[in-house]
Structure 1
Amino acid sequence: MSEPGSLLRSLSGRSTARNYHSHVINEIGAGVISGRYPIGTTLPNDAELMEEFEVSRTVLREALKTLEAKGLLEARPKVGTKVAKKSRWSLYDPQVLAWHLEAPVDAEFLSGLHEVRRSLEPQAAAEVARRRTADQIRLMLYWIHQMETSLGSLQNFALADFELHRIIADSAHNPFVRALYGVIELAHALAYKALMAAPDPCLLDALLEKHRLLVNRIEYGDEAGARAAMLETIEHDRKVAQRSG
């Protein structure tokens, strides 16, 4: 899952890996995040993994190298490939973040996820309010309209919600905010996954109003109002996501 929005689209059904290489990466990566391969343990040897995934040694080794680059694994001479400590995981990697969607809810991880958003997104909203352009406002209003017309489709509503946040992140012209795409999308996916388990149309109406207010404050150049409105949307996502805990 590397394209923005692909994680939210996957909520309607598990995505199929594009090839054997992707399949091995996804299965082992998700297995590490979920704890199926516990931290500090050594993975089965190459022969066992080749048999399990029905792949060649070349495909397996390339997949393991990719997971090493993401900080999930570490190869040790004469020991094998071990699952790395959490402190080494590349948590801003969209794929690593995506694997957390199916893992058991970790309260510390969830808290950190929303804390990162609270630290940067509200300031981004304020910055956009300060120097917004007509084109940026048109795009934001477009996604508000998409949310309005998608109240009967949770997945489409979620995608429109995420795209609105992505437009704001882009409009802030801050590369560190743009680096949050994966964080923002996972936060939305966790919230909407909880809503899929227990649908509540009233919550969507409330969320739409929060986003209308956010865009309104940006459009009128209200930096403090935009900051506060963004905080409200993040807090809403946090509370809804906690339902799955």
Structure 2
Amino acid sequence: MARIENLNLSQRVTNELGRAIVSGEYTIESGLPTEAKLCDEYGISRTAIREAVKMLAAKGLISSRPRQGIRVEEPSNWNLYDTSVLKWLLSSSPSLHVLREFLQMRLAIEPQAAALAAEFGKDEDIDQIEYALNDMKTAAEDPQASMHDADLRFHTSILYASGNRFFFQLREFISTALDVSIQHTTPAKGNDMSVAEDHGKIYTAIRNRQPERAKNMMTYLIDEAMSFIEQEIQRKS
């Protein structure tokens, strides 16, 4: 029981310290407080603090070495594929700039995944894309409903249907950032049914086994989202 309690406490401290590091509250120059100070601040044992330090080190946010203490790492060393790190980044002030980088990465991955799904995807896997699309359309017709979850399933289903294990391994990363991205881009589009129809063009190309068209339709979708994010960045600058 004590082990579980320690782990839960460690996870809470990991989350709070992780957010503080990513938001710039703790920097390379300032470092983190000592173990003793962290114990006092959070009212927990050194064991729980050390577990949190290990978790943060595994995410690349800090390093802990003998006689050097706990050191905050350069942002270039942070593990951006860690969904916790990505969430902390997206919840911090420069989230729009992070989203732009994320969309640039999506442009390198998802159009190719759509093309592979069209060329090699199994019928039953393409069915999953269709189910997600149908749920998007149903939600779009109901002013009280959200098609957010169905939108996420649409994209992750394409990653799976591509048959590329490396692409599918990115599903948690893609979903985490999409979760925030959709909140910016869908309202900008202004019409849920229009969003669903654009996704439908990708699905149709995949179902009809048209790799190049599937690739182009996915590229268009992400490029349009990029335009919305760029406009918002300029508006806030």
TM-score w.r.t. the length of structure 1 is: 0.82
Deviations 1:173-212 (Å, cap 9, x if unpaired)? 223212322442243223233369xx46734232211100
Counterpart of 1:179?
169
Match of 1:90 among 72, 79, 104: 79
Counterpart of 1:238?
226
Whole-angstrom distance in 1 between the partners of 2:173 and 2:56: 19
Counterpart of 1:9?
none
Larger radius of gyration: 2
**1:104 has 2:93 as partner:** yes
**Which structure 2 residues correspond to residues 50-65 of structure 1 after superposition, within 5 A?**
50-65=39-54
**Which structure 2 residues correspond to residues 1-245 of structure 1 after superposition, within 5 A?**
19-105=8-94, 109-151=98-140, 152=143, 156-194=146-184, 199=187, 202-242=190-230, 243=232
SS of residue matched to 2:90 = coil
Note the C-alpha offset of 1:28: 0.9
The 1:80–1:102 alpha-carbon spacing in structure 2 relative to 1, beyond 3 Å, is same
The 1:122–1:129 alpha-carbon spacing in structure 2 relative to 1, beyond 3 Å, is same
The 1:228–1:40 alpha-carbon spacing in structure 2 relative to 1, beyond 3 Å, is farther
Q: AA paired with 1:202?
A: G
Note the C-alpha offset of 1:96: 1.2
Asked if structure 2 preserves the Cα contact closer than 8 Å seen for 1:214 and 1:229, the reply is yes
Note the C-alpha offset of 1:111: 3.2
Runs of 4+ with >4 A deviation: none
Asked if structure 2 preserves the Cα contact closer than 8 Å seen for 1:187 and 1:237, the reply is no
Whole-angstrom distance in 2 between the partners of 1:206 and 1:39: 46
SS of residue matched to 1:75 = strand
Whole-angstrom distance in 2 between the partners of 1:97 and 1:144: 26
Q: AA paired with 1:223?
A: P
Whole-angstrom distance in 2 between the partners of 1:153 and 1:53: 41
Note the C-alpha offset of 1:73: 0.3
Whole-angstrom distance in 1 between the partners of 2:188 and 2:173: 24
Whole-angstrom distance in 2 between the partners of 1:237 and 1:153: 24
Note the C-alpha offset of 1:92: 1.0
Note the C-alpha offset of 1:240: 3.7
For structure 2, the residue ranges without an aligned partner over 5 or more in a row are 1-6
Deviations 1:137-190 (Å, cap 9, x if unpaired)? 221111011111223357x41211111111111111223212322442243223
Q: AA paired with 2:67?
A: K
Whole-angstrom distance in 2 between the partners of 1:76 and 1:153: 53
Note the C-alpha offset of 1:100: 1.5
Whole-angstrom distance in 2 between the partners of 1:200 and 1:57: 48
Whole-angstrom distance in 2 between the partners of 1:132 and 1:224: 14
Percent identity reads 30
Q: AA paired with 1:69?
A: A
Query: How many residues are aligned here?
Result: 225
Note the C-alpha offset of 1:108: 5.2
**Greater helix proportion:** 2
TM-score w.r.t. the length of structure 2 is: 0.85
Whole-angstrom distance in 1 between the partners of 2:54 and 2:39: 15
Query: Aligned Cα RMSD in Å?
Result: 2.3
* Higher RCO (CA-CA < 8 Å; seq separation 6+): 1
